């Protein structure tokens, strides 16, 4: 038999779609599909519609098939059925005198029609509604403000700086908003820090520092209990980890620390340094930038530090007089 056009292949094969069925099944990789006798009918229908689409040179009923079978089998198995059907047609057409390059291109177009119809089903819904996250965060921050208004103010400022750094690093709006949310909640664990430590007017002892440091893990535990904010828990837990592994609570290092936590750490440190604390006075933003640059790659993620420095047109040049300062943002 000699068929000289792609449309001719469609017309010829369309008269016997059942003969393509066994070939299409042979091209399936998903064992669950191969073992499922319920695929025969939808696969035969698809073969028929593909052949008809080839014959009339435009997609016919493919999106409808994809929407129905995508819901029935799932988008990935439905896409595999489409791929197998196209393989079967291309294989059967080997015996014809036809422009095979054009045939394969046309089949790709038809497969694309099916993929487009399946695409919305592949989108995983966000695990958390943003509005729900915001409500939960507002409630927690209101609690924190009742307990410690200074920490609440610091959290809001850290959120703002974090978002700016994230955007400067190229994170999109959604990712930047998530990182900002984590920053807003980074010190929420201080709700459980005893007054004698949280409000001590002078420097903390080693034992008191140990108590203060518990707020990072406590914040993670609190957020784990709130479904709309549970995805923030690992970042909040890790916001005092150091890039060199000398932080807490898990002594993670480098890329083992969530990127979001590394960004929060830089913004947290910057705002803490330019703010008065009970045990020390604020330092100038330029001095804070110098300290960040000196801790680049040791205390903090180098990319996050660079992004923070880049927010300022004239970042401070590293100066040795800041080198001995221990930076602790608690
Ligand atoms: Fe903290």
Quote the tokens at residue 51: 């052949």
- 186 alpha carbon – ligand 1 mean position (Å): 6
Query: What's the pLDDT band for 324 if we cut at 50, 70, 90?
Result: very low
Residue 158, pLDDT > 60, answer yes
Residue 296, pLDDT > 90, answer yes
pLDDT of residue 295: 97
For residue 291, the SS3 value is helix
pLDDT, tens digit, 9 for 90 and up, residues 113-125: 998 898 888 765 5
Integer Cα distance of 237 and 234 in angstroms: 5
CB within 8 A of 297, min separation 6: which ones?
Answer: 243, 244, 305
- 211 alpha carbon – ligand 1 mean position (Å): 12
Integer Cα distance of 175 and 179 in angstroms: 6
Q: Higher pLDDT residue, 326 or 98?
A: 98
- 287 alpha carbon – ligand 1 mean position (Å): 21
CB under 5 Å of ion ligand 1: residues:
187
- 115 alpha carbon – ligand 1 mean position (Å): 46
Q: How many other CB atoms sit within 10 Å of the CB of residue 202?
A: 9
- 267 alpha carbon – ligand 1 mean position (Å): 11
- 284 alpha carbon – ligand 1 mean position (Å): 21
pLDDT of residue 28: 81
Domain ranges of the chain: 6-122, 130-322
Integer Cα distance of 185 and 142 in angstroms: 11
Average pLDDT over residues 171-177: 91
pLDDT, tens digit, 9 for 90 and up, residues 198-254: 999 888 999 999 999 999 999 999 999 998 999 999 999 999 999 999 999 999 999
pLDDT, tens digit, 9 for 90 and up, residues 6-25: 888 888 888 776 778 888 88
Helix 75-92 vs helix 100-122: angle between axes, to the nearest 10 degrees?
Answer: 170
- 83 alpha carbon – ligand 1 mean position (Å): 52
Residue 150, pLDDT > 50, answer yes
Quote the tokens at residue 150: 């200074």
Integer Cα distance of 68 and 42 in angstroms: 9
- 151 alpha carbon – ligand 1 mean position (Å): 9
pLDDT averaged over every residue in the chain = 87
pLDDT, tens digit, 9 for 90 and up, residues 71-121: 888 888 898 899 989 989 988 888 888 888 888 888 988 988 998 898 888
HEC-encoded secondary structure of 187-224 = CHHHHHCCHHHHCCCCCCCHHHHHHHHHHHHHHHHHHH
Average pLDDT over residues 263-280: 89
Confidence (pTM): 0.58
pLDDT, tens digit, 9 for 90 and up, residues 132-147: 788 889 999 999 999 9
Q: What is the DSSP string of 157-195?
A: HHHHHHHHHHHHTT--HHHHHHHHHHHHTTTGGGGGS-H
For the domain made up of 130-322, give the CATH fold: Hypothetical protein af1432 (1.10.3210)
């Amino acid at each position: 038999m000699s068929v000289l056009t792609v449309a001719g292949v469609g017309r010829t094969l369309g008269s016997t779609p059942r003969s393509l069925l066994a070939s299409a099944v042979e091209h399936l990789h998903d064992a669950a599909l191969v073992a499922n006798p319920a695929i025969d009918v939808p696969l035969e229908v698809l073969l028929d519609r593909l052949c008809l689409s080839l014959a009339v040179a435009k997609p016919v009923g493919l999106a409808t098939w994809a929407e129905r079978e995508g819901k029935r089998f799932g988008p990935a198995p439905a896409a595999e059925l489409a791929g197998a059907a196209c393989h079967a047609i291309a294989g059967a057409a080997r015996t014809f005198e036809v422009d095979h390059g054009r045939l394969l291109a046309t089949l790709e177009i038809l497969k694309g029609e099916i993929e487009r119809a399946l695409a919305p089903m592949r989108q995983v819904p966000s695990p958390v509604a943003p509005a729900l996250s915001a409500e939960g965060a507002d409630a927690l921050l209101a609690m924190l403000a009742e307990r410690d208004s200074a920490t609440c103010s610091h959290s809001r400022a850290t959120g703002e700086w974090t978002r700016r750094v994230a955007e400067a690093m190229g994170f999109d709006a959604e990712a930047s908003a998530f990182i900002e949310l984590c920053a807003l909640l980074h010190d929420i664990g201080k709700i459980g820090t005893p007054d004698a430590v949280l409000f001590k007017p002078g420097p903390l002892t080693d034992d008191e520092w140990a108590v203060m440091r518990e707020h990072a893990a406590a914040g993670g535990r609190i957020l784990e209990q709130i479904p709309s904010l549970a995805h923030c828990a690992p970042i909040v837990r890790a916001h005092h980890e150091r890039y060199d592994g000398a932080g807490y609570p898990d002594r993670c290092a480098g890329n083992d620390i969530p990127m979001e936590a590394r960004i929060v750490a830089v913004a947290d440190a910057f705002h803490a340094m330019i703010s008065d604390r009970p045990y020390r006075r604020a330092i100038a933003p330029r001095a804070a930038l110098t300290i960040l640059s000196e801790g680049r790659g040791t205390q903090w993620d180098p990319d996050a530090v660079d992004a923070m420095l880049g927010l300022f047109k004239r970042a401070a040049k590293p100066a040795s007089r800041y080198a001995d300062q221990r930076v602790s943002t608690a």
